[in-house]
Structure 1
Amino acid sequence: MNPTDQLVATPAPASLAAWERCRRSVGGGVSSGQRATAAPHPLFVDRAAGALVWDLDGREHVDYVGAWGPMVLGHSHPVVLEAVAAVLPRLQMPGMGHRGEYEAAEAVLAAVPGAERLLWSNSGTEAVQVALRLARAFTGRNKVVKFVGAYHGWHDSVYASVTRHEPGERATAQTRGQNPHALEDLVVLPFNDVERVRAVLAEAAERDIAAVIVDPVLSSGGLVAPDPEFLRALREGCDGRGTLLVLDEVITGFRVARGGAAERWGVTPDLWTCGKAIAGGFAHSAVLGRADVIDQVSDGVTHSGTYNGNPVALAAVEATMRVLAEPGTYERLEETSEQVLAGIRRAAAATGADLRPYRVGSILSLGLTDRPALARLQSLLLEEGVLLLPTGKMFVSTAHDRAAVQRTETAFARALGRW
């Protein structure tokens, strides 16, 4: 289908033209599949700064897409840019050790309670695969427990039971072309089901369970906070049974708290995966965890990647960690996120709109499950100069100020009035 076949008008005509042109050279016209679901069509931007982006038509928008999570400091934060600019003339990619590797690692480990060592990687998908390899090597087992609705990357071995799931514990494939045999070692359970978790982990050895991997805030589509008892049951269920607990904090890491779920809910896993916000907009990720598990890479467990430990990305990691460690940063981020939420609620109440937004940390959800209704609202908000994800999620950054919050409430009031 040609994009113009489904659209009558657009507030961003240059973006529509750019998408049509991009489709002639890039599959689907986007570099990551879900971007194509944006309504009324993918937006193409020219520049970004702080909490704002400007599209190809020159229109300014308050940005809650946040690059789908990484921009916890907003766009082009001066401390991050300064750190990157300092390393660029000296190193781009040496393929050898450099001081940035340990300086950034020390800064990340200082932020996350209980983390002793880390491995660098490039994306959340890669980090998850590294973590699961480490868990299988350490335990000598093969199966992995995941939860319905959780997204752990696009790799065949974990891309399962995200948007749909058949009854039972068998994983449901999510895409054409996926190797069905890759899912045979997955055990899929309901999120927040304490009793089911306890029953399955009581048989962890007999069932060959190497690891439990969990997104502590179920955030693939909607936004579901964990029952603290659920997280405790995971930790207790793994303890003493030879099973490792892996927190996939690619999305929640450095967003729900500086130390992620370990700090916010007091659960310490054996391994963490971190990405997105870790590098303030640059591409990098990490696997953190117990030293005895991580150090297997010196004892027969392969961990490779040409771009692992890229000095440019690690300069951004270290700078991001430095800014996030400043006193009061997370208190202000929580306060701003609550103000955004309150403004949307006021706009919904004033217009009588059936909207029930909520948040966990600096991640908001509009609570809409009806896709056409959500697409309609997203299109109206685009006209009003506010951007959110096609899923109805919103990422708040430290760059969102009082003016951005007020503009957001006004935009929602106008959009909901026509919704």
Structure 2
Amino acid sequence: MTAEARFAGSRAWHERASSVLAGGVSSQFRAFGVFHPMHYTRADGARMWDVDGNELLDFTLSQGPCILGHSHPELVARVQAAVAKGQLFAGQHAEEVLLAEALQRLIPCAEKLRFTSSGSEAAQACIRIARAKTGRQRILKFDGHYHGWLDSVAWNVAPPGNAGDAPVPWCAGIAESAAADIICLPWNDLDAVRRTMDAHGQEVAAIITEPVMCNQGCIEPLPGFLQGLRAICDEHGSALIFDEIITGFRIGLGGAQGHYGVTPDLALFGKALGSGFPLAAIAGREAWMAPLEAGRTYHAGTMNGNNACIAAGLATVEILERDDALRRIATLGAALRDGLAQLGAKHGIALRVQGPGPMFHMGFSTLARATEFRHVAADDKAAYHAFCQAMLLEGVRLIERGLWYVSAAHTEDDIAFTLAAADRSLAGLPRT
């Protein structure tokens, strides 16, 4: 059966959606379908089913959140029980306190917390807090790092190779005035950070970074890089902000800060925290959260701490702790990552597969190791697109930018199935 016939129902629904939804989607990332945007009917464990009845083994996990897998029965039951008592109080409730206490116990920087609904909101809150405490305006971020879609951070998310030193907006419509408050540097270049902060540190409220550059290449920090950022921020009185939206609860229950032993001043958590429910957390040292606690700066949101999402977060943390799920996820992820690299060697295809294991990146490249965005930007995107098409026809759903996620619902048999599918897919790719 041809791809067109196999996914005809999704195409028809996409065409229908395009008459009422801008671009036929509700998030721009969904517009880049392997063949076209897909439409789904249900998901369970590590699998999803589309409107055409195709069963797909899922390594997108809804762009990462579903760390327990889809529709985990205990999680669903906990959420249903919470909603039965009321979906939204717009007031405090006991489970919110219980979740905050659990996160305070697990996360090194979490002396005080606030809950919100998305990573984009949490990033803005951390930046506002840093500005309120320091009285400074500028933010230093890194090329290829994604901290949400809002104007203040949507710079150099995927800069062109000829960008030069001036920040490049992610897309049209971003306020040009925001460029004055942003400094963008290559990831893992501590000397560049040191030079820049020596020149402009008195203007910089915060350095914000993914502690692992997950969104572009799943690049881990070079030895001493995070420690160097910590020291530089201490020297200049700037906040160190870790964007743990992906690393939090995936690389460890203490986040990347627990894994690497570097404690930031502020951090944001999301995705896996809510296991598919819209939940994010702002965590920080008490001294840095003081402007928020004193009411000198505001963070608000009607949906913050709503019953369903808090119940999902509390259930997720308890299940991950109780079931030792992260160890299994790391073991399975490492086996999948290493197996893909071995298949590249078997077929004589230049592949780079790197990352901690619970999440990793696969790219077609002769460069064995990427350490910053320009390395990933040079990958053969057309080859990976063709690989994703072949894998979808094999019954495996992937994120087209090369990021793989593993969940607690995946099994050793799933890894074996995927590697066999990848073996066939790589064998069938055209050689150039």
Q: Is the 8 A contact 1:69 1:276 kept in 2?
A: yes
1:121-152 C-alpha deviation (Å, 9 max, x unpaired): 11111000000000000111111100111111
Taking a change above 3 Å as real, the CA distance of residues 242 and 186 of structure 1, as seen in their structure-2 partners, is same
Deviation at 1:67, TM superposition (A): 0.5
Structure 2 counterpart of 1:253: 248
Q: Is the 8 A contact 2:144 2:158 kept in 1?
A: yes
Letter in 2 for 1:173: P
Aligned residues: 412
1:297-325 C-alpha deviation (Å, 9 max, x unpaired): 23321111010111110000000011111
Structure 2 counterpart of 1:37: 32
Equivalent residues in 2 for 1:275-286, closer than 5 Å: 275-286=270-281
Q: 5+ unaligned residues in a row in structure 2: which ranges?
A: 365-378
User: Within the alignment, does 1:263 sit opposite 2:258 as a pair?
Assistant: yes
CA distance in 1, matches of 2:163, 2:343: 39
Structure 2 counterpart of 1:364: 360
Between the aligned residues of both structures, percent identity stands at: 37
Q: State the SS of the aligned residue for 2:393.
A: helix
Q: State the SS of the aligned residue for 2:10.
A: helix
Q: Is the 8 A contact 2:78 2:312 kept in 1?
A: yes
Moved more, 337-346 or 76-85: 337-346
Deviation at 1:203, TM superposition (A): 4.1
1:159-179 C-alpha deviation (Å, 9 max, x unpaired): 001111555543111111111
Moved more, 226-235 or 159-168: 159-168
Moved more, 313-322 or 291-300: 291-300
CA distance in 1, matches of 2:416, 2:3: 30
Q: State the SS of the aligned residue for 2:236.
A: coil
Letter in 2 for 1:189: L
Q: State the SS of the aligned residue for 1:228.
A: coil
CA distance in 1, matches of 2:57, 2:163: 41
Moved more, 367-376 or 138-147: 367-376
Q: State the SS of the aligned residue for 1:397.
A: coil
Letter in 2 for 1:242: G
Letter in 2 for 1:322: E
CA distance in 2, matches of 1:341, 1:241: 39
Taking a change above 3 Å as real, the CA distance of residues 204 and 118 of structure 1, as seen in their structure-2 partners, is farther
Q: Is the 8 A contact 2:217 2:354 kept in 1?
A: no
User: Within the alignment, does 1:373 sit opposite 2:383 as a pair?
Assistant: yes
Taking a change above 3 Å as real, the CA distance of residues 338 and 261 of structure 1, as seen in their structure-2 partners, is same
Structure 2 counterpart of 1:15: 10
Q: Is the 8 A contact 2:363 2:384 kept in 1?
A: no
Partner residue of 1:68 out of 58, 63, 66: 63
Deviation at 1:8, TM superposition (A): 7.6
Structure 2 counterpart of 1:82: 77
Equivalent residues in 2 for 1:314-353, closer than 5 Å: 314-326=310-322, 328-353=324-349
Partner residue of 1:412 out of 422, 425, 432: 422
Q: Is the 8 A contact 1:217 1:223 kept in 2?
A: yes
Letter in 1 for 2:247: T
CA distance in 1, matches of 2:5, 2:236: 57
Moved more, 105-114 or 165-174: 165-174
Deviation at 1:344, TM superposition (A): 2.0
Deviation at 1:251, TM superposition (A): 1.4
Q: Is the 8 A contact 2:219 2:354 kept in 1?
A: no
Structure 2 counterpart of 1:138: 133
Q: State the SS of the aligned residue for 1:334.
A: helix
User: Within the alignment, does 1:307 sit opposite 2:317 as a pair?
Assistant: no
CA distance in 2, matches of 1:129, 1:415: 41
Letter in 1 for 2:380: D
Structure 1 counterpart of 2:402: 392
Deviation at 1:99, TM superposition (A): 1.1
Q: 5+ unaligned residues in a row in structure 1: which ranges?
A: 1-6
User: Within the alignment, does 1:193 sit opposite 2:189 as a pair?
Assistant: yes
CA distance in 2, matches of 1:400, 1:385: 15
Structure 2 counterpart of 1:234: 229
Moved more, 92-101 or 365-374: 365-374
Letter in 1 for 2:88: M
The normalised TM-score by structure 2 is: 0.92
CA distance in 1, matches of 2:95, 2:200: 40
User: Within the alignment, does 1:95 sit opposite 2:90 as a pair?
Assistant: yes
CA distance in 1, matches of 2:113, 2:216: 29
Structure 1 counterpart of 2:375: none
Q: State the SS of the aligned residue for 1:212.
A: strand
Runs of 4+ residues deviating >6 angstroms:
none
Moved more, 257-266 or 355-364: 355-364
Moved more, 33-42 or 155-164: 33-42
Q: State the SS of the aligned residue for 1:356.
A: strand
Q: Is the 8 A contact 2:111 2:283 kept in 1?
A: yes
User: Within the alignment, does 1:157 sit opposite 2:152 as a pair?
Assistant: yes
